[in-house]
Structure 1
Amino acid sequence: MPVAAQAAECRTETFEGARYSVCEVDAAQEDLRVFLNAPDSGETLGSFSAVNGVLQRAGQSLGFAMNAGMYHSDRSPVGLYIEDGKEAAPVVTSAGPGNFGLLPNGVLCIREGRADVFETLRYVDEAPQCRHATQSGPMLVIDGALHPRFLKDGDSRYVRNGVGTSQDGTRAVFVMSGGPVNFHTFGRFFRDHLELPQALYFDGNISRLYAPELGRSDIGFPLGPIIGTVTPPGDG
């Protein structure tokens, strides 16, 4: 397991006049995980404070976190979900309603020393051994190209969040827009500003961020999957 040398670096950046909150994780050094249910009760955690409470009982703490994919009304994951090597929900390859089913969608896979966004069919074909994984959609950037369905003047605008990864898998960059943006603009932030070849949309409207460096610990609707970095004892 990676040893956290430092917390995720969170900052605010501007692209074409719009502000974004950006948290960059060195996947080769930091302990990046997904969270869904409390280990003792099995109840859905649903909030950053609940995740932190679980970690603190083990002498750890949450470095940064955000919601990590779409979920059903019972807050169970819509697609693939793997936590600590155990698959809690299977991968979904079919098209469907809503943003998740706007194919191609994708999977964020966290392995030893790296994190990668895979287009879903590529994930199924390559079958990487993920310690943690979450599926969402649509893909924002696929091998350096924007999702083919995105329209430059698309009028669906929300506060959105997602993740992009570098070719070598060491750089995982989590982003939340500071205001409503369409998919085309959000995808270009990852491709043109961050220069990341793969990026995946997590959600919009309900997007939440925990970033102490930025003075943020968003509250709101109970969440499903959450992703974040874990700070070991003595590093808090």
Structure 2
Amino acid sequence: MAVAGAAGRRLLAAVLAGVATLCCASGAASREGAQMCREVSFAGVGHTVCEIDLRRYRIDLHWDDSKGAPYGSLGALERELARQGRRGLITMNAGMFEEDLSPVGLFVSAGQVRHPANTRRGTGNFYMKPNGVFFVRGSRAGVAETQAFLKRGIRPDVATQSGPLLVTGGRIHPRFKSDGDSRKIRNGVGVRADGTVVLAISRQGISFGQFARLFRDELRCPDALYLDGSVSRLSVDGSVRAPLSYDLGGLADRRLGPIISVEPR
């Protein structure tokens, strides 16, 4: 009896240890996106900031599914990634779009140009020149002015065009006031000198000038691109983290065009 009891206790201990390990691993996996993100206060405005090491994580861009239907929301994309057995740790809108949710400018996914670059003149934020392109090739990323990007002949794995550029070579967009009157939710992407990709979204309204300084002065990004404004959304580990809203229902299913995802490599 004593031998059997000891053996039983050892077996039970081994089973409990295995369950604990599985639970801890599952918990760690479910919080992996949150481990890349933090809250930052700048110019009196709160922001959610996510820092991505491309040696460990992969950035993809999405627009439509295999049937050609736009995903249209962070929630729809996250559900599709889960169906494929993929883990979308972070999702965020990734550029401006037309009424049919198609991109306004260049859109490259899986190395394929799905929508051409837009070099036309026009009104609105996208056409506030200089605008630019965020791109990733392998484990390297960059933000470049549109014409400079096209002249370099870069063949990225993913790329999205938007505007205006927030910061170029450490210089803030020439048309920005230091603190303009227009204060809206804003999101953008920057790249540090060491290659780290930085996603940021304000949790309250902020001016263009302040948002640009967030990337340059606080987040240490010499190059950064504005992605969009009031429609912007960021989801971490399947839960919408920003912006602040009294209407929490359905935030992940608000209508969006291009979407960025961050997944483990």
Same fold (TM over 0.5): yes
Q: Distance in 2 between matches of 1:151 and 1:16?
A: 14
Are residue 186 (structure 1) and residue 207 (structure 2) matched? no
Moved over 6 A (4+): none
User: Does the alignment pair 1:103 with 2:136?
Assistant: no
- The yes-or-no answer on 1:34 pairing with 2:67 is no
Shift of 1:11: 0.9
Contact 2:78 2:238 in 1 (8 A): no
1:19 matched residue in structure 2: 46
CA distance in 2, matches of 1:214, 1:48: 10
1:10–1:214 CA distance, 2 compared to 1 (3 A): farther
Contact 1:10 1:214 (C-alpha < 8 Å) held by counterparts = no
Distance 1:142 1:206 in 2: 25
Q: CA deviation at 1:220?
A: 5.2
Alpha-carbon offset, residue 231 of structure 1? 3.7
1:162 partner amino acid: G
Is the contact between residue 77 and residue 89 of structure 1 (CA under 8 Å) also seen in structure 2? yes
Separation of aligned partners in 2, 1:13 and 1:21 = 6
Query: For the Cα contact (< 8 Å) 2:94–2:227, is it kept in 1?
Result: yes
Q: Which has the larger radius of gyration?
A: 2
* Distance of 1:14 and 1:161 partners within structure 2: 14
1:150 to 176, 182, 186: 176
State the alpha-carbon separation in 2 of the partners of residues 195 and 181 from structure 1: 19
Q: 2:224 aligns with which of 199, 203, 213?
A: 199
CA distance in 2, matches of 1:154, 1:220: 31
2:72 and 2:53 mapped to 1: Cα distance?
Answer: 25
Checking the alignment, whether the CA contact within 8 Å between 2:106 and 2:113 is kept in structure 1 is: yes
Identity of aligned residues (%): 40
TM-superposed deviation, 1:202: 0.3
> Alpha carbon RMSD of aligned pairs, Å?
1.9
Deviations for 1:12-49, whole angstroms, at most 9, x for unmatched residues? 0111322110011112321110011112x210001122
1:28/1:112 contact within 8 Å kept: no
Q: Structure 1 regions of 5+ residues with no counterpart?
A: 1-5
| TM-score normalised by the chain length of structure 2 | 0.81
Q: How far apart are the structure 2 equivalents of 1:49 and 1:92?
A: 28
Q: TM-score, normalised by structure 1?
A: 0.90
Residues 165-208 of structure 1, C-alpha deviations (whole Å, 9 max, x = no match): 0134x200000011111100000000011111000000000011
- Structure 2 partner of 1:73: 99
2:140 and 2:74 map into 1 onto residues whose CA distance is 23
Matched residue pairs, number? Answer: 226
* TM-fit CA distance, 1:215: 5.9
Q: Is the Cα contact below 8 Å between 1:24 and 1:174 reproduced in 2?
A: yes
1:9 equivalent in structure 2: 36
CA deviation map 1:46-84 (0-9, x unaligned): 112211222223211210011000000000000000111
Whole-angstrom CA distance in 2 between matches of 1:106 and 1:99: 12
